[in-house]
Amino acid sequence: MKLRLTKIAVSLAALIPLARLAWRALHGGLGANPIEFITHSTGDWTLIFILTTLSITPLRRITRQYWLIGVRRMVGLFAFFYGCLHFTTYIWLDKFFDIHEMVKDIAKRPFITVGFSAFVLMIPLALTSTAWSIRRLGGKNWQRLHRLIYLTGILGVAHYIWLVKADLRKPLEYGIVLSMLLLYRVGVWVSEKRKPAIPTPARSLV
Ligand code: HEM
């Protein structure tokens, strides 16, 4: 019951950026270039949700708040949701489904290919986010597949660093947060490897 209420609260909180965007759109608050505003806002939130998803495991271990695992999948799905909005803004509002324009743009601005790769990698994660998929794939395989989120994060940050022309501060801040979250995983992996294998007790033959 408590987890259900937490999930509802997290979902409502996760929809605030979209609600703010809709509010601004209805009240003429999207600035001189509304498409650019929407692209930037949805891109930012995609990255924020990816980093939030990646921070749940360390946060859960450090604070021993084990219930946090119950919202991780949902936060990941919101990353995908904002990624879809970001992608849709580009192909619909920005390029109006004009394939020629898109090909020309991609050739001119290769950072779009990097963003696109990050987005494509999120698709199998979103498709296998159900309890049924975990059962079908088996816990270990599911975990292996879901490590793709590390690559998504790296490509997402690379996409941002690449597209910025002058002030690199914001993408680098995201990069630092991502590096810390990935280093945490490396640290855990190394310490697990170093642990001595627990010997199985010798069976008595008597
Ligand atoms: C996981 C996937 C992605 C992430 C995390 C991401 C993230 C971002 C971020 C953070 C920004 C800059 C926001 C700002 O300036 O505040 C951005 C801008 C942009 N993204 Fe993405 N993006 C992704 C996928 C894509 C895809 C699939 C496309 C198009 C096919 C795309 C096209 C763009 C464009 C055109 C801009 C604006 C560039 C400019 O200002 O000149 N992105 N994205």
Per-residue pLDDT reduced to its tens digit, 136-163: 999 999 999 999 999 999 999 999 999 9
Looking at residue 79, its amino acid is A
pLDDT of residue 179: 98
- Record the tokens describing residue 37, joined without a space: 């505003």
**Spacing, Cα 2 to ligand 1 middle (Å):** 36
- Record the tokens describing residue 55, joined without a space: 């921070």
The preferred substitution site among 80, 94, 163 for testing ligand 1, maximizing ligand atoms within 8 Å of CB, is 163
Q: How far is CA 89 from CA 106, 111, 178, in A?
A: 15, 16, 25
CA of 102, closest atom in ligand 1:
30
Q: What is the mean pLDDT of residues 126-142?
A: 94
Q: Give the residue whose CA is nearest to atom 42 of ligand 1.
A: 115
pLDDT at 105 over 90: yes
Higher pLDDT, 194 or 179: 179
In terms of Cα–Cα distance, which of 24, 73, 23, 21 is closest to 49?
Answer: 73
CA of 44, closest atom in ligand 1:
10
Task: Decide: 44 in ligand 1 pocket, CB within 6 A.
Answer: yes
pLDDT of residue 197: 72
pLDDT at 72 over 70: yes
Q: What is the mean pLDDT of residues 52-80?
A: 95
CA of 47, closest atom in ligand 1:
5
DSSP 65-118: -GGGHHHHHHHHHHHHHHHHHHHHIIIIIITTT-HHHHHHHHHH-THHHHHHHH
pLDDT at 65 over 50: yes
pLDDT of residue 20: 98
Handedness of CA 184, 186, 191, 196 (dihedral sign): positive
Q: What is the mean pLDDT of residues 101-122?
A: 96
